[in-house]
Amino acid sequence: MVLTSLEKMIGLQKKPASIRNICILAHVDHGKTTLADCLISSNGIISSRLAGKLRYLDSREDEQIRGITMKSSAISLHFEKGDQEYLINLIDSPGHVDFSSEVSTAVRLCDGCIIVLDAVEGVCPQTQAVLRQAWLENIRPVLVINKIDRLIVELKLTPQEAYSHLKNILEQVNAITGALFTSKVLEERAEKETETQGISDSIHGDQVYDWSAGLEDTDDSHLYFSPDQGNVVFASAIDGWGFGIEHFAKLYSQKIGIKHAVLLKTLWGDYYLNTKAKKIMKADQSKGKKPLFVQLVLDNIWSLYEAVLKRDKEKIDKIVTSLGLKIGARESRHADPKVHLNAICTQWLPISQAVLSMVCSKLPSPLDITTERVEKLMCVGARTFDSLPPETQELKKVFMKCSSEDAAPVIVFVSKMFAVDAKTLPCNKPRPLTQEVIAQRRELARRRHAEKLIARQGQELPEQAISGNESELTVKTGETKGDEQELTSQTDSRTLETVKQEADKESFIAFARVFSGVVRRGQKIFILGPKYDPAESLNKLPSGCSAADDLPSIPHMACCTVENLYLLMGRGLEELEEVPSGNVLGIGGLQEFVLKSATLSTSPACPPFTPLNFEATPIVRVAVEPKHPSEMPQLVRGMKLLNQADPCVQVLIQETGEHVLVTAGEVHLQRCLDDLKERFAKIQISVSEPIIPFRETITRPPKVDMVNEEIGKQQKVAVIHQAKEDQNKIPEGVQVDSDGLITMSTPNKYSTLSVRAMPLPEEITQLLEENSDLIRTMEQFNSSLNDDKKIHEINQKILDRIQEFKQKLEQNLQGRKWRNAVDQIWSFGPRKCGPNILLSKFEGYKKTVWQCLDKTTKEVNKYRDFDNSIVSGFQLATLSGPMCEEPLMGVCFIVEKWDMSKAEEQMSANRQDSEESDATEQTKNEDKVTSLSSSYTTESSSENKELQDGSQDSPDSSEKSSKRKGETLFADCYGPFSGQLIATMKEACRYALQVKPQRLMAAMYTCEIMATAEVLGRVYAVLSKREGRVLQEEMKEGTDMFIIKAVLPVAESFGFADEIRKRTSGLASPQLVFSHWEVISGDPFWVPTTEEEYLHFGEKADSENQARKYINAVRKRKGLYVEEKIVEHAEKQRTLSRNK
């Protein structure tokens, strides 16, 4: 097909009804990029022979080497179906789990997606993940079952077996869609029930429960994939063929004489053809008959493959002539039969035709955006659509219209920023020189040469001028040519230098979509950050203002000019002047304003879009530093650019001053480091070993010891090295009760604290982790209540969520020791939203985290001035535990006693002293005032009144000053009292932890491995070597593949994928996704104490303790003290007697 001109593309951009924004989603290695190649080749951008080999959209070098896609890239294609023309904006996305954030950026910009499935492997973990992402973004999917040639060539299935295998795959995909749909319906029903509960209770005395879940009433038939609905294509992208059922229905309706509509319904399913009666029957009436799909479709494909692979020339010729194809001599004589096969299939069943016609007929255009999706995009966080300001709600109509009128406000969403080499930008491309430019350069060269000649002739001697006129002429002509070349080379080198300087810069382009209006070059536009609130800004801004006006500064909102607009064409970019709504585009010049994603609009009423949902959480950390310390500024700049260019990476500077990269996995880490070295920093860097996160916790005292004997009944042995006692040495002045209550006083002995630590149930820890955002919202609300700030009314929906969260805590915290615990929660930690709890069980203090529910403000009592110090001490204690300074998890600290009586006495004494001193000062001041007032008698009385009123109206200020005085009077040689309280609380929490059985928690990956039966043993060997644990293994129906599900500590996962591939010769490939935190069962400080343990483990007990190994590694990295015996001279012992 001929390349489509840019003008035609621009023309099609203005017709939103003929635009399709689609992305290709699938598990890794299921054939997305090969399919994209086939679709691109239909536009003549690449040769159809290279489709699948070139992988055109994998433009990075490491993508080509590894053979996987690492970024989402877009290309615009033109497609004609009948007399209608379509513009298809195609986005290819990665399938590797490390790059699932790139999938999220692609899905947000699309209206539909193509799910690609490997016919052999079927539904894989990442297939489920992408289906879920498509579902969450409300975009419609269609299915392409790819690699059907593997069923023929590798698995050697018969057409009948292949049919049942394909049916199974379809059922699996539909099961996932069904599960997503069911959960959505049940959620909606639950919401409706809570709303109508109050009304129904008042009407009906007795409640009648309706057991139907509401699933019967809702229509879900359009959601499922079924070939007869036309949303499934069967294909082999590498061989270039693909078909939907309509193609064959059309073909056979003419041949057999059965209606097209009937064939469409019966070609897929258990129907067979009765040739005598020319009728289609249900399969139960026939015995041993082939279904229509096998008989009319699969048999033909199988026979074609068989003929070509076996080189049956007669049969091939017969097939080719019957199909009316023309195959070139080069293809038919080629040594590789696959080339011949590809030539036949691409003409008979072109995959691009099948897939693109399905996309155009089944996927929605930008005009068909659903109200549900619009409302979801516009509501950030827990806000409902109804709670948005009316101007913002008006924008919904604009979204739905997708209008490109000049009056319509421009709304654009930028899903990611991507870096391109400045050389590839259209403005920097080398252009061919025009005739005028060449003539100008020639004229310039001649002029310069003439000047040179004049200068030279002035210096030359007259005799030399006389001799050899002819030779001089020839030399001159030669010189002019040489000079001309020299000059052009000089000008070229200058332009090259400027281009090089520009090219050294990485240029950032925003990957975006226009949802409304027309974006033009040079247009002024608002950039709205994720925390921007339209309700707040609309009050401050004048109505009808635009980005070009001079406006007051508003938080999370900036103005900028759109510099360049680009049409994304895979590896290339084309410049555009304007882009109407409904199109995907690239925007240049936003580098300074947008970090990763943003919403652009000409209307300040536009809300920021909901943030993207990322499936993978970044967990792998490394510290980075330059090889030469002088290059630190380049590294800092490079990391800043990397942070902007990658949607999932996090760049941190730790308290220690280390620059840390946090990535989603090993492959992602490698890509980020390569980018840093070669593109962004362009320096040599040294990278630390991965920093593995751990958590510290405590458990209930164990009932049995290390040799499974009941504790307390065995004979204790005096062990020489009691390491545990040394480890947990508690200093003097700290009282420890038998049940683990720690009592400590501040250094100045004015206050005493009693703290106990208890392990939280697992369900509670999980609940706190899941609701960290809600806890953060509660914290913000409480702090604003305490500071007496004016705040927005908290949303009723959030209050309901907080109430529900509180009820869940109450359900899980039951039993005598947790009585009233939920009402006594004082704070969460670390960072006030973590999975640890602080309870206040002492008398006379009532402040809790549930202030937002009962709206109580700060109360006045003796603890008021210093309660924040206790909370701060708790935050510090939970941020770094005693074992290896890692955060705590699942620990509850209970403050059982807080004695402030001595402090109060001291405070009252201080207050009296200060009052006396104040009184003396006041009398002095009064004397001064009287002497002054006598000199200024003309002072107006009204002003005096005002001053008096002012002094009466500010009790707060006097209170604050007294508080400050109390604080300063409290400061002694130990420092301020609040600081002493913080330190005491922190130490008390640490000692409370140390008297309980401490444990280390490791981050765990869930690992899914697909492997054949012969390499199962090797997979298990690698897993057990790395402390992995197999959860389940199941055989995939219809194949010889096993799916193994296991958990593996993150600490042991580095190099795991490579090792598995090496050990299994590439037959098994793992997918690692961060799952949860798990307690490492062994006690890190365990030593043998009983006779049985002593006999079993020996005196040193030097069998490797996994938890201890991890702790020591972390302590070494942090520069903390590690108790290790280092052998210095480990030579072999030499006997005194000489060998004879």
**Bigger pLDDT: 1119 or 381?**
1119
Place of tokens 């608002």: 526
Residue 657's region, left for phi above 0, alpha for psi from -120 to 50, else beta, is: left
pLDDT of residue 684: 94
Taking the C-alpha atoms of residue 810 and residue 804, their distance in angstroms, rounded to an integer, is 10
pLDDT of residue 940: 39
Instruction: Please report, as a single letter, which amino acid is at residue 961.
Output: S
pLDDT of residue 536: 78
Look at 164-173, 501-510, 1010-1019 and tell me which has the smallest mean pLDDT.
501-510
pLDDT of residue 385: 77
DSSP, res 98: G
Q: Which pair of structure tokens corresponds to residue 541? A: 């801004």
**First and final CA of the chain: distance in angstroms?**
91
Q: CA of 790: how far to CAs of 55, 783, 850, 872, 1087, in Å?
A: 58, 11, 19, 25, 58
Model confidence at 305, pLDDT cuts 50, 70, 90, reads very high
pLDDT of residue 712: 60
Model confidence at 458, pLDDT cuts 50, 70, 90, reads confident
Taking the C-alpha atoms of residue 1135 and residue 1133, their distance in angstroms, rounded to an integer, is 7
Instruction: Please report, as a single letter, which amino acid is at residue 733.
Output: G
CA-closest candidate to residue 33, choices 76, 67, 79, 77: 67
Q: Which pair of structure tokens corresponds to residue 736? A: 């420890």
CA dihedral of 759, 760, 762, 766, whole degrees rounded to 10: -130
pLDDT digits 0-9 by tens, 83-92: 899 999 999 9
Residue-level length of the chain? 1140
pLDDT over threshold 90, residue 1085: no
pLDDT of residue 1079: 92
pLDDT over threshold 90, residue 148: yes
Q: Are 21 and 90 in contact (CB under 8 A)?
A: no
Question: Which residue intervals of 825-974 are DSSP H helices?
Answer: 851-854, 867-879, 901-935, 941-953, 955-970
pLDDT over threshold 80, residue 730: no
CA-closest candidate to residue 852, choices 820, 821, 891, 825: 825
pLDDT over threshold 90, residue 1083: no
pLDDT over threshold 50, residue 689: yes
**Bigger pLDDT: 923 or 811?**
811
Neighbours of 20 (CB within 10 A): 23
Q: CA of 541: how far to CAs of 394, 545, 551, in Å?
A: 18, 7, 7
pLDDT over threshold 80, residue 77: yes
Bridge partner list, 524: 561
Q: CA of 28: how far to CAs of 96, 147, 153, 513, 672, in Å?
A: 5, 13, 21, 26, 19
Please give the average per-residue pLDDT across 992-1005, as a whole number. Answer: 91
pLDDT of residue 638: 93
Q: Which pair of structure tokens corresponds to residue 926? A: 């009064």
Q: b/e per residue, 404-436, with b = 16+ CB within 10 A?
A: beeebbbbbbbbbbbbbebeebeeeeeeeeeee
Taking the C-alpha atoms of residue 810 and residue 1072, their distance in angstroms, rounded to an integer, is 35
Q: What angle, rounded to 10 degrees, do the helices at 955-970 and 977-994 form?
A: 60
Question: Strand ranges (DSSP E) for 493-613?
Answer: 506-516, 519-520, 524-528, 557-561, 564-569, 572-576, 578-579, 584-588, 598-601
Q: CA of 526: how far to CAs of 378, 645, 925, in Å?
A: 16, 21, 57
pLDDT over threshold 70, residue 493: no
- Non-local CB neighbours of 80 within 8 Å, separated by 6+ positions: 86
Taking the C-alpha atoms of residue 187 and residue 514, their distance in angstroms, rounded to an integer, is 32
pLDDT of residue 875: 93
Taking the C-alpha atoms of residue 637 and residue 940, their distance in angstroms, rounded to an integer, is 63
pLDDT of residue 1025: 92
pLDDT digits 0-9 by tens, 154-173: 889 999 999 999 999 999 99
Please give the average per-residue pLDDT across 1125-1131, as a whole number. Answer: 66
CA-closest candidate to residue 381, choices 596, 609, 604, 599: 609
Please give the average per-residue pLDDT across 441-450, as a whole number. Answer: 90
pTM strictly above 0.85:
no
Number of H helices, E strands in the chain: 37, 34
pLDDT over threshold 60, residue 879: yes
pLDDT over threshold 50, residue 204: no
pLDDT digits 0-9 by tens, 628-659: 999 999 999 999 999 999 989 999 988 778 89
**Residue 1091, SS3 per DSSP:** helix
Sign of CA dihedral 673, 675, 678, 679: negative
**Residue 916, SS3 per DSSP:** helix
Model confidence at 471, pLDDT cuts 50, 70, 90, reads very low
Place of tokens 């129907």: 271
Please give the average per-residue pLDDT across 243-250, as a whole number. Answer: 91
Taking the C-alpha atoms of residue 347 and residue 981, their distance in angstroms, rounded to an integer, is 82
pLDDT digits 0-9 by tens, 1049-1071: 999 999 998 899 899 888 888 88
Query: For residue 830, is the peptide bond before it cis, meaning its omega torsion is within 30 degrees of 0?
Result: yes
Q: CA of 957: how far to CAs of 281, 904, 953, in Å?
A: 92, 22, 9
CA-closest candidate to residue 744, choices 1051, 986, 1096: 986
**Residue 1066, SS3 per DSSP:** coil
pLDDT digits 0-9 by tens, 522-533: 999 999 988 888
pLDDT over threshold 80, residue 859: no
Model confidence at 393, pLDDT cuts 50, 70, 90, reads confident
Please give the average per-residue pLDDT across 933-960, as a whole number. Answer: 40
What's the mean per-residue pLDDT of the chain? 81
Q: Which pair of structure tokens corresponds to residue 162? A: 């292949």
**Residue 103, SS3 per DSSP:** helix
Distance, C-alpha 440 to centroid of its chain: 55
pLDDT digits 0-9 by tens, 548-583: 676 777 888 889 999 999 999 988 899 999 999 999
Model confidence at 212, pLDDT cuts 50, 70, 90, reads low
